[in-house]
């Protein structure tokens, strides 16, 4: 009896140990991904501090010669009422763009529009034309309504900057569409927005027979590096890690840019001169970043650390939002051949961190299929 119990116990123990090995390996991979991310982030913060000190000693002048003019180009920027979006809108307006601020709050959008209108155009550029349209990416109905309103105006879209986002929501939040909020606002809403606008623009192109050249910029982040799309738990029902969900959404943006570019290239007759690109704007002094770094300090200590963080640490370690706008501007206006399908940042091509254990193209295609399922939207056959 004791011998039987021992044998059975040994077998059960071995089975349990074997079943725990994959979980242990997954845990070690998780630790490795986040360790590398934080080490890389520390180096970038150190570089930011050096750059900020250098700027104080000798003000850096922006090199505008590398960017094309945006004269008369229709540019839609989501989340343009603050941060990187507002900075990007100002830079496009300086270059003569017709800038549409796509904002959740029309009131905040109008205040931002006044700031954008006040910029002085660069030499040879048209006076800026700026307007506001309402868009709530947490609602797929709002996305579709925005696209209908935009299509009704028969405008030729030249540039779409998918910038709006939320970061590190403290509690798991599900939108009215039944999707985890960070995933929908940062990625899924933009995926639907891009597809709907492209569909309407293709109809406009066929009716006018005018040449087309459009660019879609997905604002990602260096935080995409520890991201991992878990297709078995897309709504974080098994467990919610707010920073992991943010990273997953930013990885989805990198994958989306590459998948859109592949589909543009496969359908050259309709989308041959279209470009999709993802961009890391940098670690910037924005509301999102400041909220994240302040949140790293335990709550009881924040009354002491917040003033120090706000006035000393964060202004030193984070670059101004204008710096991020310049990175996005590079993604938006650099030559097509230079950035097509790439992940860029700081005015150059960067290396994206793709899933090492899975084929990147296969993951991107699965993400596309998942997006179709979650939105109930079937894209154009030309984008198949």
Contacts of 315 (CB under 8 A, 6+ apart): 52, 285
- d(CA 316, CA 48) in angstroms, rounded, equals 7
Measured in whole angstroms, the distance separating CA 175 from the mean position of its chain's CA atoms is 19
Q: Are strands 348-350 and 343-345 parallel, antiparallel or unpaired?
A: antiparallel
* CA 209 to centroid of chain Cα atoms: 32
Catalytic entry in 187, 246, 330, 343 = 246
Contacts of 163 (CB under 8 A, 6+ apart): 77, 78, 79, 80, 84, 85, 88, 217, 219, 328
Q: How far apart are CA 68 and CA 95, in angstroms?
A: 8
Residue 126 burial (CB < 10 Å; 0-12/13-18/19+)?
Answer: middle
Identify whether 246 is a catalytic site residue: yes
What distance in Å separates the CA atoms of residue 195 and residue 146, rounded to the nearest whole number?
Answer: 13
Question: Torsions phi, psi of 359, nearest 5?
Answer: -65, 125
Q: String of b and e for 166-201 (b: at least 16 CB within 10 Å)? A: bbbeeebbebebebbbbbbbbbbbbbbbbbbbbbbb
Write out the H or E segment, with its range, that includes residue 78: strand 74-78
Location of structure tokens 């000798």: 58
Catalytic center residues: 246
């Amino acid at each position: 009896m004791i011998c039987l119990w021992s044998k059975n116990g040994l077998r059960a123990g071995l089975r349990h140990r074997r079943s725990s090995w994959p979980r242990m390996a997954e845990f070690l991979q998780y630790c490795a991904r986040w360790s590398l991310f934080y080490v890389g982030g520390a180096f970038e913060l150190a570089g930011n501090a050096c750059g900020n000190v250098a700027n104080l000693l000798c003000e850096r002048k922006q090199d505008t010669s590398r960017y094309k003019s945006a004269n008369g180009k229709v540019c839609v920027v989501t989340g343009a009422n603050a941060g990187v979006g507002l900075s990007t809108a100002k830079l496009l307006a300086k270059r003569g763009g017709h800038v549409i601020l796509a904002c959740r709050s029309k009131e905040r959008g109008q205040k931002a529009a006044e700031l954008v209108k006040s910029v002085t155009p660069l030499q040879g550029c048209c006076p800026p034309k700026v307007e506001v349209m309402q868009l709530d990416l947490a609602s797929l109905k709002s996305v579709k309504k925005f696209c209908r309103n935009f299509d009704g105006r028969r405008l030729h879209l030249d540039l779409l900057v998918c910038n709006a986002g939320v970061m590190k929501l403290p509690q798991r939040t599900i939108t009215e569409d039944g999707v985890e909020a960070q995933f929908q606002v940062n990625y899924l809403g933009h995926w639907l927005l891009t597809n709907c606008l492209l569909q309407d623009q293709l109809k406009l192109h066929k009716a006018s027979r005018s040449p087309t050249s459009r660019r879609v910029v997905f604002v990602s982040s260096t935080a995409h590096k520890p991201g991992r799309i878990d297709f078995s738990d897309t709504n974080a029902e098994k467990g919610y890690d707010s920073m992991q969900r943010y990273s997953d959404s930013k990885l989805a943006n990198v994958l989306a840019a590459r998948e859109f570019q592949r589909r543009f290239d496969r359908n050259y007759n309709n989308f041959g001169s279209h470009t999709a690109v993802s961009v890391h704007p940098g670690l910037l002094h924005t509301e999102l970043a400041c909220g994240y770094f302040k949140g790293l300090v335990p709550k009881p200590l924040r009354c002491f650390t917040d003033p120090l963080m706000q006035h000393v640490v964060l202004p030193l370690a984070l670059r101004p939002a204008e710096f991020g706008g310049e990175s996005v501007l590079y993604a938006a206006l650099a030559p097509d051949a230079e950035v097509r399908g790439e992940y860029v940042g700081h005015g150059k091509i960067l290396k994206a961190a793709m899933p090492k254990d899975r084929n990147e193209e296969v993951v991107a295609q699965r993400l596309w299929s998942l997006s179709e399922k979650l939105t109930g939207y079937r894209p154009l056959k030309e984008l198949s």
